[in-house]
Amino acid sequence: MAEKIYQGIGVSDGIRSGIAFIYRREPEPDTNRTVSKEQTEAEAKRLDHAVEQAGQEIDRLIARASETLDSGDAAVIKGQKTFLADPAYCPEMKKLILGRQYSAEKAVREVTDRYAAVFEGMNNRYMQERATDVRDAGTRLLNYLSGVQSSGLSKIDHPVILIADDLSPSDTVQLNREMILAFATRQGGKTSHTSVFARSLGIPAVVGVPEIMEEVADGETLILDGNRGVCVASPEPETRKVYLAKMEEEHRKAELFGRFASRNAQTKDGARIIAAANIGSAADAEDSLKKGAEAVGLFRTEQVYLSTKSLPDENAQFEVYRKVAECFGSKEVIVRTLDVGGDKEIKYLGIEKETNPFLGYRAIRYCLDRKEIFLTQLRAILRASAFGRLAVMFPMISGMQELAAAKTMVEEAKEQLRGKGEPFDESIRIGMMVEIPSAALMASALAKEADFFSVGTNDLVQYTLAVDRGNEKVSYLYDYFDPAVIRLIRLTADAASSAGIPMGMCGAMAGDPLAVPLLVGLGLSELSMAAGSLAQTKYILSRLDTGSCRELAEKSDRCRNATEVRSLLQEYFETEIKEI
């Protein structure tokens, strides 16, 4: 057979090679039958019986799902149970049976189709995908009516790449997960059940591949690349070789890093460095914990504002912050106050277009001007601090005045809460981002007023080098390995250490393997990054000796440009860390 390549949407990372298992649903029963007047009572009873059995089956599935899956999946199946008990669902069917002499099957089909069509017609992808849940409830009833109950999915007893039209919760719950190498489905999007399910189990998946059901045969060899959303059927030996090498590389790294994910980050000589995650929501918080986050070094609160059409009130914000605080328990979560403006636009805040937005009315400048908005957020964060270990971090502090003004606002928010008898963490730590060169230069003064520093490299680089990285004509100048940037980081780190306050980093640089030894050498105590980089960073840290990192940092101080820094770090990496 000739090689066939299919492009879909990669929704869960990883590459797998295996045998295709095509899952087709049972042929549909006759759903066009009517019955005689005398039979309607019996037909209604037949439906009642199927509803009862289907309900019991769902209960069993829920019990099973809550053991093995997270609560989200169990909730989807519960949704089906609610459909079965819905006053607009089965009672509607009975009306059709008794009133219009429909067979039970015809009634199920008609009512199910009616509601599924309503959902499919909605202009909201989430709701469109709920049509699957209704159809699934309908299919389950039809199965019980016709006596067909098992779908063949539970019989999979050897490792396969499962190909289906779409998979519903009741399909996936039947699967023996050990036997599923990957999924490919004809339908679905990033938020469809198959996608969420695959990601939660770490099984590679590609969805939205239109031809796959018709063209791929049962038992055909298949390579599935969830990173790029590609499926290759009957791959040529050349293709196979390429993917095999990729898989081996992936496997080796996963093995290597995986062992470090759940450990505390620590250097070879026993220095503790906190490997923290950057998050934007409560869902990110859960995910980052699974991936080994020891803290949150940056909780971007902009998403809380972006997800609403008007200003979120104190309670709405509090709920989000509380969820994250509870999720991390005794581990610290650094909440950055609203960092709006620049390239981050929130329409309802009404920030006018400026000719130079990055140097304009943004972040802490906006918040210190719009005191009510700032106080609302601070109160929400403070209230949430009673449920975990939160810290407050101000963005874009350019000097002492702004830090003092922002701290005064925190005091004011605390006073308001005390007045209302609302509990909060009285000793909550208040820190600041160092992302403006003036703040780095004044770090020794600022360090006496802040409880911690966190370097935001993205802005620090652009302000230090005067480079807009979105501008392709100059973006080649944007480099956090520029010695000027590193000197500012050093200045900040030295100030933090003399003042005895911790210093972290939450920009892109913190997750760069090449940068890790340098940052350790400069004396940073927390690295905050995208959750996906945590295991790798922990691994790198475990191979480092702080003394040798310090020497490396000294050496970097003599570099004259970014290229020299980069090659110094590259060389260090190759000799000290070797395998990666």
Partner 1 sequence: MLSKEFTINSQYGFHLRPAQVMVEKMTPFESEVKMKKEDGTEADAKSLLGLMSLGLNDGQTVRIDINGNDELEAMEVVEELFRTNFGE
182's CB contacts (< 8 A; 6+ apart) are 14, 16, 18, 161, 162, 203, 204, 205, 206, 224, 226
Residue (158 or 309) nearer to partner 1, CB: 309
Tokens linked to 443: 């770090």
Asked if residues 212 and 186 have their Cβ atoms less than 8 Å apart, the reply is: yes
Count of CB atoms situated within 10 Å of the CB of 153: 19
Residue (73 or 512) nearer to partner 1, CB: 73
- Known binding residue 300? Answer is yes
Interface ranges with partner 1 (CB under 8 A): 75-76, 78-79, 82-83, 86-89, 115, 118-119, 121-122, 124, 126-127, 130, 133-134, 307-309, 315-316, 319
- Known binding residue 435? Answer is yes
Nearest one of 231, 246, 317 to 281, comparing CA atoms: 317
Residue (316 or 405) nearer to partner 1, CB: 316
Residue (112 or 556) nearer to partner 1, CB: 112
Q: How far is the CB of 139 from partner 1 (least distance, A)?
A: 16
Asked if residues 53 and 144 have their Cβ atoms less than 8 Å apart, the reply is: yes
421's CB contacts (< 8 A; 6+ apart) are none
Q: How far is the CB of 310 from partner 1 (least distance, A)?
A: 8
CA 262 to each of CA 292, 308, 534: distance values in angstroms, whole numbers, following the listed order = 5, 35, 10
Q: How far is the CB of 297 from partner 1 (least distance, A)?
A: 26
387's CB contacts (< 8 A; 6+ apart) are 322, 325, 326
* Helix (H) / strand (E) containing 535: helix 534-542
What is the spatial order of strands in the sheet that 230-233 belongs to? 4-7, 230-233, 221-225, 15-23, 160-164, 180-185, 205-207, 9-12
Q: Is 251 in the active site?
A: no
Q: What single-letter DSSP state applies at residue 575?
A: I
Residue (89 or 144) nearer to partner 1, CB: 89
Residue (96 or 392) nearer to partner 1, CB: 96
CA 303 to each of CA 149, 280, 339, 368: distance values in angstroms, whole numbers, following the listed order = 44, 6, 10, 20
Q: How far is the CB of 302 from partner 1 (least distance, A)?
A: 14
Q: How far is the CB of 309 from partner 1 (least distance, A)?
A: 5
Q: Is 193 in the active site?
A: yes
Catalytic residue among 90, 231, 506, 549: 506
Q: How far is the CB of 116 from partner 1 (least distance, A)?
A: 10
- Known binding residue 336? Answer is yes
- Known binding residue 313? Answer is no
Strand partners, 184: 163, 206
- Known binding residue 389? Answer is no
- Known binding residue 459? Answer is yes
Rg (CA), the chain: 29
Asked if residues 388 and 351 have their Cβ atoms less than 8 Å apart, the reply is: no
Catalytic residue among 90, 193, 327, 549: 193
Detail the residues annotated as belonging to a binding site for Mg(2+). 435, 459
Residues belonging to the active site: 193, 506
Detail the residues annotated as belonging to a binding site for phosphoenolpyruvate. 300, 336, 458-459, 469
